[in-house]
Amino acid sequence: MTRSAADHHLYGDLAPWWPLISAPEEYTEEAATAAAVLNSASIPVHEVLELGSGGGHNAVHLKSRFDLTLVDLSEDMLAMSRRLNPECAHHQGDMRTVRLGREFDAVFVHDAVAYMTTEGDLRQVIETAFAHCRPGGVALFVPDHTAEAFEPVTDHGGSDDPGGRGARYLEWTTDPDPDDTWIQSEYAFLLRDADGSVRVVHETHRTGLFSRPAWLGLLAGADRVEGTLFGNGERTIVRNGPAQRDTSNAGIQCRGVERDHPVRAVAYERHRSAAVRTRAKIVERA
């Protein structure tokens, strides 16, 4: 059965397994890539807001560089993140609607943006990011895929802890209908408790898949942005492939209301990045 993001077992009762399913070490390179983009703002970047921060596995790598505020829909995931990142501020909230009443030097939306399955949802997240971003700051979005590059995914991973708990997962992600804006992932989780008992959980997740023009249009159309895009469509979605393109030139730059201090928006596809290829290798070794 497909459940809404708020009802997923993975981010609810299974949250204590998150560090074994998707270990913090797997985020090291991705977080470094994100940090470089966040630091490409035209103002010094100290205060960073992460929307959809999950178990805090990016935050654990970013918190030495930035003063982090973390927002997630799931109290169970926030509880895991608080244990890992007690020095960070945590807030429960929906990335579409949360308003913290303050601004940050940069806003980071990593893989959790995948749970936006309609253009309306995605627009709201982009508006949330801009609403919290200071003039001169950067809003960074890292969708798992874009429609142009999507290929069906089969993946597996997981790890064990020293106390005898272990988790393994199998993932199949397909696009049942290329004409709509969502794809579907079937997950099987095999979970071994410290007492040796094992259970299996199957869960279906529906996540968003948007074309690059849709991303660009939404980024250009966010409320605080007047809509001037710099660069062409190919250059605006940054791929951190082996060539390591210069994100300072390849990002999307939108003129904000304050013309002298545009808020810069950068998006790149997570599954195209060199960091994720490395992560995939780590998963294979586990």
Ligand X SMILES: C[S@@+](CC[C@H](N)C(=O)[O-])C[C@H]1O[C@@H](n2cnc3c(N)ncnc32)[C@H](O)[C@@H]1O
Residues that bind ligand X (CB under 6 A): 5, 11, 27, 52-58, 72-74, 77, 94-96, 110-112, 115
Nearest-CB residue to ligand X?
Answer: 54
Burial of 8 from C-beta contacts in 10 A (0-12 / 13-18 / 19+): buried
In the complex, minimum distance from the CB of residue 170 to ligand X, in angstroms, rounded to a whole number: 16
In the complex, minimum distance from the CB of residue 273 to ligand X, in angstroms, rounded to a whole number: 14
DSSP letter, residue 195:
T
The Cα 165–Cα 198 span in angstroms is 10
Residue number with CB closer to ligand X (124 or 146)? 124
In the complex, minimum distance from the CB of residue 5 to ligand X, in angstroms, rounded to a whole number: 4
In the complex, minimum distance from the CB of residue 270 to ligand X, in angstroms, rounded to a whole number: 10
In the complex, minimum distance from the CB of residue 252 to ligand X, in angstroms, rounded to a whole number: 22
∠ CA 39-43-49, nearest 5°, is: 60
Is residue 38 helix, strand or coil? helix
In the complex, minimum distance from the CB of residue 107 to ligand X, in angstroms, rounded to a whole number: 13
For residue 203, the surrounding DSSP H or E stretch is strand 198-208
In the complex, minimum distance from the CB of residue 22 to ligand X, in angstroms, rounded to a whole number: 7
Burial of 56 from C-beta contacts in 10 A (0-12 / 13-18 / 19+): buried
Residue number with CB closer to ligand X (57 or 271)? 57
Residue number with CB closer to ligand X (110 or 239)? 110
Distance between start and end Cα atoms, the chain? 29
Residue 92 structure tokens: 């429960």
Residue number with CB closer to ligand X (55 or 137)? 55
Cα–Cα distances in angstroms (integers) from residue 13 to residues 82, 85, 224, 267, in the given order: 16, 20, 38, 31
Residue number with CB closer to ligand X (10 or 262)? 10
Residue number with CB closer to ligand X (55 or 158)? 55
Residue number with CB closer to ligand X (35 or 77)? 77
Is residue 11 helix, strand or coil? helix
CB distance 239 to 245 below 8 Å: yes
Burial of 31 from C-beta contacts in 10 A (0-12 / 13-18 / 19+): buried
CB distance 215 to 229 below 8 Å: no
Place of tokens 């998963």: 283
